[in-house]
Amino acid sequence: MRLLPHTCLSAFLLFLISCTGDKRNIRAYYFPVGALKQGRVYEYERRENGVVSTEYWYYQTIRQDSGLFLVSTYYDRNFEVGQIMREKIVRSGALARDYFLYEPDSTTGKAVQIPTVIESGSVFPFQVSDSLGIFLFSLRYHPVSEPAATISVIRNRYFKGDAPDVEFQGKKYPCIRIGIREAIGTETEGRAEVEGTGEEWYAKGLGLVYSTKTFSGGKLKMETRLKDVFPMTELEKRAGSSSRGQ
pLDDT 10s digits, 17-54: 444 457 899 999 999 999 999 999 999 999 999 899 99
- Calculate mean pLDDT across residues 152-167: 95
Does residue 210 or residue 143 have the better pLDDT?
210
178 is in which domain, residue-wise? 10-40+57-205
| Domain annotation covers residue 222 | no
Contact call for residues 134 and 14 (beta carbons, < 8 A) = no
Of 68-72, 95-99, 146-150, 199-203, the poorest mean pLDDT is in 146-150
pLDDT > 60? residue 8: no
Residue 219 placed within a domain: no
Q: Is 48 a domain residue?
A: no
Does residue 100 belong to any structural domain of this protein? yes
Mean per-residue pLDDT, 59-76: 96
Residue 157: inside a domain: yes
Count of domains forming the chain:
1
What confidence score (pLDDT) does residue 217 get?
Answer: 82
Of residues 213 and 243, more confidence is placed in 213
Would the CA dihedral through 115, 55, 91, 154 be positive or negative? Answer: positive
pLDDT, position 12: 45
| Residue 234 falls inside a structural domain | no
Residue 218, domain member (yes or no): no
Number of other residues whose CB lies within 10 A of the CB of residue 171: 11
Does residue 6 carry a pLDDT above 60? no
Task: Name beta bridge partners: 18.
Answer: none
In a domain, 220, yes or no: no
